[in-house]
A and B are shown apart, each in its own frame.
Chain A
Amino acid sequence: MDDSLIVIDNLVKRYGDHTILDNINLEVKTGQALVVIGPSGSGKSTLLRCIAALEPIQRGSIRIDGKLAAKGVENAGAQPDAASLRDLRQRIGMVFQQFNLFPHLTVLENITLAPRRVRGMKRDEADALATELLRTVGLEEKRDVHPERLSGGQQQRAAIARALAMRPKIMLFDEVTSALDPELVGEVLRTMRQLAEQGMTMLVVTHEMGFARDVADDVIFMDQGKIVERASPDVIFENPTEARTRAFLERLLDREGRRN
Chain B
Amino acid sequence: MNDFQFGRILAYWPDLLRGVGVTFQLGLISASLGLVLGLALALMKFSRHPLAYWPAYVYVEFFRTTPPLVQIVWLYYGLPLITGYDLGAFGSAAVALGLNIAAFYSEIFRAGLVGVHRTQWQASRVLGLGLIDTLRFVILPQAIRNVLPPMGTTTIYLIKDTALASAIGTPELLRIGQLISVETFRPVETLTIVALLYFTVTYPVALFVEWLERRFKVARA
- What residues make up the interface of A, taking CB atoms closer than 8 Å to B? 52-54, 86, 89-90, 92-94, 96, 98-105, 113-114, 117-118, 146-149, 155, 162-163, 166
Contact A155 B221 (CB under 8 A): yes
Contacts of A86 in B (CB 8 A): 128, 130
Contacts of B129 in A (CB 8 A): 113-114, 117-118
Contacts of A103 in B (CB 8 A): 142, 218-221
A112 → B minimal CB distance (Å): 11
A6 → B minimal CB distance (Å): 15
Contact B119 A100 (CB under 8 A): yes
Q: Provide 20 A-B residue pairs closer than 8 Å at the C-beta atoms, listed in order of the A residue.
A: A52-B126, A53-B125, A86-B128, A89-B126, A94-B126, A98-B119, A100-B119, A101-B123, A103-B220, A103-B221, A104-B218, A104-B219, A113-B127, A113-B138, A117-B137, A118-B129, A118-B133, A146-B218, A155-B221, A166-B127
Q: Does B141 contact A (CB under 8 A)?
A: yes
Tell me whether A148 and B219 are in contact in the complex, defined as CB-CB below 8 angstroms, given that A90-B128, A114-B127, A117-B133 are known contacts: yes
Tell me whether A99 and B221 are in contact in the complex, defined as CB-CB below 8 angstroms, given that A54-B122, A117-B133, A117-B137 are known contacts: yes
Most buried by B among A90, A94, A101, A102: A102
Contact B219 A89 (CB under 8 A): no
Tell me whether A118 and B128 are in contact in the complex, defined as CB-CB below 8 angstroms, given that A96-B122, A100-B120, A103-B142 are known contacts: yes
Most buried by B among A117, A146, A163, A166: A117
- What residues make up the interface of B, taking CB atoms closer than 8 Å to A? 119-120, 122-123, 125-130, 133, 137-138, 141-142, 145, 218-221
Contact B218 A93 (CB under 8 A): no
Contact A146 B126 (CB under 8 A): no
Instruction: Report Cα–Cα, A61/B200, bound state, in Å.
Output: 64
Contacts of B126 in A (CB 8 A): 52, 54, 89, 92-94, 163
Nearest neighbor of B122 in chain A, beta-carbon distance: A54
Nearest neighbor of B134 in chain A, beta-carbon distance: A117
Contacts of B123 in A (CB 8 A): 96, 100-102
Tell me whether A147 and B221 are in contact in the complex, defined as CB-CB below 8 angstroms, given that A96-B122, A100-B123, A102-B120 are known contacts: yes
Instruction: Report Cα–Cα, A148/B142, bound state, in Å.
Output: 14
Instruction: Report Cα–Cα, A146/B218, bound state, in Å.
Output: 9
Most buried by A among B128, B129, B221: B128
Tell me whether A148 and B133 are in contact in the complex, defined as CB-CB below 8 angstroms, given that A96-B122, A102-B123, A104-B141 are known contacts: no
The one of A54, A93, A98, A149 in contact with B125, judged by C-beta atoms closer than 8 angstroms, is A54
The one of B130, B137, B141, B219 in contact with A147, judged by C-beta atoms closer than 8 angstroms, is B219
Most buried by A among B120, B129, B138, B221: B221
Nearest neighbor of B140 in chain A, beta-carbon distance: A104
Given A98-B119, A100-B122, A104-B141, 16 new contacts (CB under 8 A): A52-B126, A94-B126, A100-B119, A103-B142, A103-B218, A103-B221, A105-B137, A113-B138, A117-B129, A117-B137, A118-B129, A148-B219, A148-B220, A155-B221, A163-B126, A166-B128
A67 → B minimal CB distance (Å): 15
Contacts of A98 in B (CB 8 A): 119
Instruction: Report Cα–Cα, A118/B138, bound state, in Å.
Output: 14
A143 → B minimal CB distance (Å): 15
Nearest neighbor of B142 in chain A, beta-carbon distance: A104
Instruction: Report Cα–Cα, A52/B125, bound state, in Å.
Output: 9
Contact B127 A162 (CB under 8 A): yes
Nearest neighbor of B119 in chain A, beta-carbon distance: A100
